[in-house]
Amino acid sequence: MKGRLSWICHGPTRANREGRFPDDEPLEAKALERIQLTSRFGTADQAWTSPALRARQTAAALGLDVMAEPSFRECDYGRWQGRPITELHETDPEALSQWMLDFDAAPHGGESLSAVFVRVGAWMKSHIGDGGHIVVVTHATVIRAAILHVLQAPPPAFWSIDIEPLGIVEMTSDGRRWQLRFPNAAR
């Protein structure tokens, strides 16, 4: 095994709890109490984070010395940022449906999901030969895009992946390809 990559989803926020499109909100106060993950992923040779406040707070609580990486930013949801998904079901169901079915669409005026897939895949390609243990603290959308990239899965598979706050996804690289890794919990 040449390289190991641990993706960590930021801690819980009010937007998570309320089913809202995220904005640059902080972690919930009790989230810092829940962050006890360092023994699960060990030390990091390299560590990056999304520039978002909630990701930076999670990385700090984990004691990681991280660099902010624009490739790991959350999808720009444009005018939907901060809005409840249920509200969009009622007020703009056609736009919400278009966004969920057409990965090139950005009816909210922000970034399309396919653009997220491209930027995450490009980062993974450029770091496939990195050795050691890489830790990335980011968002569920970014981690789901990374999983699609590894599996070479079609875009609709994106909606079948659930990443919870503080969830960890492991990958390894032999220098030629990334693979999903399911570590033994007894380690």
Which structural domain, as residue segments, surrounds residue 61? 3-28+38-181
**Which pLDDT belongs to residue 29?**
84
Residue 165 inside a domain? The answer is yes
CATH of the domain at 66: 3.40.50.1240
Whole-model pTM? Answer: 0.94
Residue 42 within any structural domain of the chain: yes
User: Sorting pLDDT into bands at 50, 70 and 90, what band is 39?
Assistant: very low
**Residue 36's pLDDT band (boundaries 50, 70, 90)?**
low
- Give 114-164 pLDDT, tens digit per residue: 999 999 999 999 999 999 999 999 999 999 999 999 999 999 999 999 999
**Residue 78 included in any domain:** yes
Rounded distance between C-alpha atoms, residue 12 and residue 115, angstroms? 25
- Residue burial 73-82, b: 16+ Cβ < 10 Å; e: rest: bbbebeebbe
Query: Structurally, how many domains does the chain consist of?
Result: 1
C-alpha closest to that of 158 among 38, 43, 41, 75:
75
